[in-house]
């Protein structure tokens, strides 16, 4: 994966899949959404190490993912 464009596309797909998995009301799928979020964070770290500042473009694809993490943390803290 030496292309930033392909990394951006993969990042967006993982982020959207995480958001879709969260909205299925099922605890197993919620955990899948959190695991996808963790995988996306590893992808972001790889992009920073490989491409430097240009890796910040992956943050645009991560907007649905940030919502997933925020919502899961809000559910956990409210109970």
One DSSP character per residue, 10-75 reads HHHHHHHHHHHHHTSS-HHHHHHHHHHHHHHHHHHHHHHHHHGGGGGGHHHHTHHHHHHHHHHHHH
DSSP 8-state symbol, 76: H
pLDDT above 70: residue 70:
yes
Q: How many domains are there within the chain?
A: 1
pLDDT in tens, 1-44: 578 888 888 888 888 887 777 777 666 666 777 788 888 888 88
- pTM summary value: 0.74
Question: Would you state the pLDDT for residue 65?
Answer: 78
Which range of residues forms the domain containing residue 22? 4-78
pLDDT above 70: residue 68:
yes
Q: What are phi and psi of 75, to 5 degrees?
A: -65, -45
At 77, which helix (H) or strand (E)? helix 63-78
């Amino acid at each position: 994966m030496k292309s930033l464009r392909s990394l951006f596309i993969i990042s967006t797909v993982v982020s959207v899949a995480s958001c879709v998995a969260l909205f299925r009301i099922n605890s197993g799928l919620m955990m899948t959404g959190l695991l996808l979020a963790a995988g996306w964070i590893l992808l972001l770290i790889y992009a920073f190490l490989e491409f430097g500042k240009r890796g910040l473009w992956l943050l645009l694809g991560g907007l649905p993912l940030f919502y997933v993490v925020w919502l899961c943390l809000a559910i956990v803290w409210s109970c």
